[in-house]
Amino acid sequence: MMKKYELAVIPGDGIGKEVVPAAVKVLQTAATLHGGIQLETTEFPWGCDYYLKHGKMMSDDGLEQLKNFDALFLGAVGDPNKVPDHISLWGLLIHIRREFEQTINIRPAKLFKGLTSPLVNPGPFNFLVIRENSEGEYSESGGRIHKGEDEIAIQNAIFTRKATERVMDYAFKQAVLRKGHVTSATKSNGIVHSMPFWDEVFNDVSKCYTGVRTSSVHIDALAAFFVTKPSDFDVIVASNLFGDILTDIGGAIMGSIGIAPAGNININGKYPSMFEPVHGSAPDIYGKGIANPIGQIWTASLMLDHLGEAALAREVLRAMEEVTEAGIKTKDIGGNATTDEVTNKICLQLQN
Amino acid sequence: MMKKYELAVIPGDGIGKEVVPAAVKVLQTAATLHGGIQLETTEFPWGCDYYLKHGKMMSDDGLEQLKNFDALFLGAVGDPNKVPDHISLWGLLIHIRREFEQTINIRPAKLFKGLTSPLVNPGPFNFLVIRENSEGEYSESGGRIHKGEDEIAIQNAIFTRKATERVMDYAFKQAVLRKGHVTSATKSNGIVHSMPFWDEVFNDVSKCYTGVRTSSVHIDALAAFFVTKPSDFDVIVASNLFGDILTDIGGAIMGSIGIAPAGNININGKYPSMFEPVHGSAPDIYGKGIANPIGQIWTASLMLDHLGEAALAREVLRAMEEVTEAGIKTKDIGGNATTDEVTNKICLQLQN
Ligand SMILES: CC(C)[C@H](C(=O)O)[C@@H](O)C(=O)O
Ligand SMILES: CC(C)[C@H](C(=O)O)[C@@H](O)C(=O)O
């Protein structure tokens, strides 16, 4: 029997428009090889160019159009020369994350074959950052008061027990399937309301998982440890902002922020999950055909895994690592191949 | 004529009690060699042990006792097994920063002779992080509502135009004396009230310094760039939290967070400035005599420079680099020397 998956594809801005078609090509190649599955893709032209024409980042009934897909596959959003970032991101990426209750963001990082880590001694690190994806420091609550030299901006970070418990619970569940160690990213020494609360909830949730080892590390030290001893970590649970920062460092130590994949997971089953790489739209290199498609392709693998196609997900990862190991890579990771060359080679490699 | 400087010395907690005496020894050796200056030190026993005895981190008239010193020399504060971090830090370190209007935090980082950076290709990086030190994400504004599963913690980050302009102005002035480039750490794509405000002020202040090149980089990408291309930076201006995170990464890429120095600068002349290393109190290694004194000694050099003794500051730095280059280093940076051995060798080297 043929299994069919319906995927909504949103290339978005900048290099998203280059790496998404590349990853879709890999996905289709993988599906064809598998034989038993069919991927039906529908593309949506939303992003900053759409905003310039229509005054909005996606169409008004955009969520309606998206909500019955099996998964969403997104490139990158944002192009500050066209639309201020806080408008473009909150109008599309963050909008979907919130409205579709994608409350958990998962971001694996590992030492990748064929990639040169900028670290002398990266060790065989392999960790998973579980990031709260619905609240925290990313909040529309706040505003300004007074004008001129007296002006004040207030930003509220909001942490609910529900969302905090949920992300921690998810992290502990992942740790049970992995090496049984959860590290909590905190900053309760400096940030005195939200972070002591975060620590309390971490302490509470940890009691339900007595077999899991726990650590609590301040974000400043943790960011440094990602550089000095990344192999010490298994699962890291972090707030929205801290997860954001840590996962870019994760990308950096793998060899490039162009590599790291991410999934925005809806865990209540009401809406689709969304998969997008950690990197941004890099408008400065857009159009040159040199963008690294690896982050988007790894993201595609993460999506396959989420859809229940674990074996195929592994195949994509294998092909990707083999091509990288063979030295066929883009400039940002020390090669001189184009986006297309890397992509075509991965498609070929899938067939081996 | 003899110049006399009166220094308040607060070793604080953990390894602060080991590295502060070490650095004071170096300072006194330097002063003796110079001949024309005298350093008078007064020690204050404040910290977590003091709290356990007196129920407070410093004595009630502590600020009164400190306020007429020429500078404060602090080790590290915090020992979560004795006192919760948010109590110990806000009762001493952050308390002094705020009450003495030390609104600017300066933290240099550079590739240091004799230290092995964990980066394969660190390049000759040399940057200065200027951190807002009085407000922002570190704020006592906020609280909780509801109990049990409905509990919510709210944390307010507060950015005033006055403090934001002040730290940026300071950063631009430093850039004029250096390589003429200021990078602003932002996150206006995710954090929609404080960070767009931060960007606006940055844009305004930059207009007063037309000769200075500016960049604005989101904190996630910036943290990654500290790993992948640290030589791209000159002066970085950052909020309280972002500056905290970036400077630990700065320490990491130098070879250890045990190295990085910091100054909390009062710029209105009403109160003394305070100098403390970036690293924490590391209670886990306290008492073993293996703590790295370099961060505290470099901090001492920063203090001398601030007091107007630039030549002597350079001498301390020189001696410190030569000893490190000669391989006399503590374990965290790949050697096997004790705190005392490193310190004594630096004192000897000063005399060459
Ligand atoms: C101990 C802590 C409150 C402090 C801070 O975050 O300011 C420290 O990390 C620092 O960087 O000086
Ligand atoms: C673009 C931005 C709003 C986004 C975030 O911070 O969440 C991105 O950095 C990410 O990590 O997905």
**At B68, phi and psi to the nearest 5?**
-100, 5
Q: How far apart are CA A233 and CA A255, in angstroms?
A: 18
- Whether the per-residue pLDDT at B171 is higher than 80: the answer is yes
For residue A342, the model assigns a pLDDT of 98
Mean pLDDT along residues A203-231: 97
Instruction: Report strand pairing: A273-275 vs A263-265.
Output: antiparallel
Q: What is the pLDDT of residues B331-345, one digit of tens each?
A: 999 999 999 999 999
Residues in B touching A249 (Cβ below 8 Å)? 223-224, 227, 249
Q: pLDDT value at position A1?
A: 75
Q: Which CATH architecture has domain A117-144+152-254?
A: 3-Layer(aba) Sandwich (3.40)
Instruction: Give every strand in the sheet of A152-160, ordered side by side.
Output: A142-145, A152-160, B152-160, B142-145
Instruction: Let me know the angle formed at the C-alpha of A51 by A88 and A240, rounded to the nearest 5 degrees.
Output: 15
- The pLDDT assigned to A297 comes to 98
Q: Does B137 touch chain A (CB under 8 A)?
A: yes
Q: How many other β-carbons are positioned within 10 Å of the β-carbon of residue B41?
A: 15
Does B192 sit in the ligand 2 pocket, CB within 6 Å? no
- How is residue A44 written in tokens? 């949506």
Average pLDDT, integer, range A55-64: 97
CB contact under 8 A, A155 and B156: yes
Distance B7 CA to ligand 1 centre (A): 22
A251/chain B closest Cα distance in angstroms: 7
Mark B92-110 as b/e (b = at least 16 C-beta within 10 Å): bbbbbbbebbbbbbbbbbe
Q: What percent of chain B has pLDDT over 70?
A: 100
Q: Report the pLDDT value the prediction gives residue B313, as an integer from 0 to 100.
A: 97
Is a pLDDT exceeding 90 seen at residue A257? no
Question: Does ligand 2 come within 6 angstroms of the Cβ of B190?
Answer: yes
In chain A, domain spans: 1-102+259-352, 117-144+152-254
Given a cut of 90, whether residue A258 has pLDDT beyond it is no
With a cut of 80, say whether residue B1 has pLDDT above it. Answer: no
Taking the whole predicted model, whether its pTM rises above 0.85 is answered as: yes
Q: Does B147 touch chain A (CB under 8 A)?
A: no
- Fold designation for B117-141+154-254: Isopropylmalate Dehydrogenase (3.40.718)
CA A310 – CA A317 distance, rounded (Å): 11
> Does residue A264 belong to the interface with chain B, where contact is any CB pair within 8 Å?
no
Q: What angle do CA B315, B319, B322 make, to 5 degrees?
A: 135
Q: Tell me what pLDDT residue A352 has.
A: 84
C-alpha B69/C-alpha B81 separation (Å) is 32
Q: If we measure between CA atoms, which residue out of B281, B194, B295, B179 comes closest to residue B238?
A: B194
The pLDDT of residue B112 is above 90: no
For ligand 1, atom 9, the nearest C-alpha belongs to: B244
Q: Tell me whether residues B119 and A116 touch, CB distance under 8 A.
A: no
A244 CB less than 6 Å from ligand 2? yes
What are B196-243's pLDDT values in tens digits?
999 999 999 999 999 999 999 999 999 999 999 999 999 999 999 999
d(CA A163, CA A218): 20
Ramachandran region of residue B55, left (φ > 0), alpha (ψ -120 to 50) or beta? left
**pLDDT at res. A220:** 96
Could you tell me if the CB of B84 is within 6 A of ligand 2? Answer: no
Residue A197, pLDDT score: 98
Count CB atoms within 10 A of the CB of residue B336: 11
A130-157 burial: b if 16+ Cβ within 10 Å, else e: bbbbbbbbbbeebeeeeeeeebbbbbbb
pLDDT score recorded for residue B20: 98
* A197, A219, A248 ranked by CB distance to B221: nearest: A248
Q: According to the model, what pLDDT value does residue B3 have?
A: 94
Confidence band (pLDDT; 50, 70, 90) for B258?
confident
The alpha-carbon radius of gyration of chain A (Å, integer) is 20
Query: In this model, does residue A277 exceed pLDDT 90?
Result: yes
Determine the pLDDT at residue A34: 87
Fold match, B1-106+259-352 / B117-141+154-254: yes
CA distance B4 to B1: 10
Axis-axis angle for helices B310-325, B294-306 (nearest 10): 160
In the predicted structure, residue B12 carries a pLDDT above the cut 80: yes
- Ligand 2 pocket, residue B85 CB under 6 Å: no
The tens digit of pLDDT for each residue in A293-347 reads: 999 999 999 999 999 999 999 999 999 999 999 999 999 999 999 999 999 999 9
pLDDT given for residue A86 in this prediction: 87
The lowest-confidence range among A43-52, B108-117, B167-176 is: B108-117
Question: Which-ligand-closest: CA of A107?
Answer: 2
pLDDT in tens, A100-118: 999 999 999 999 888 989 9
- Backbone dihedral angles phi then psi of residue A23, each to the nearest 5 degrees: -70, -35
Report the Cα B117 to chain-centroid distance in Å: 20
Q: Whose CA is nearest to atom 4 of ligand 2?
A: B190
Quick one: tokens of A252? 């950096």
Q: What is the mean pLDDT of chain B?
A: 96
Query: Residue A178: what are its φ and ψ, rounded to 5°?
Result: -115, -125
Per cent of chain B over pLDDT 90 is 95
Residues of B in contact with A258 (CB under 8 A): none
| Mean pLDDT (whole number) for B186-204 | 97
Q: How many CB atoms lie within 10 A of CB A90?
A: 19
Q: Does domain A1-102+259-352 have CATH number 3.40.718.10?
A: yes
CATH architecture of B1-106+259-352: 3-Layer(aba) Sandwich (3.40)
> How much is the pLDDT for A251?
95
> Would you state the pLDDT for residue B48?
98
A157 has a pLDDT exceeding 80: yes
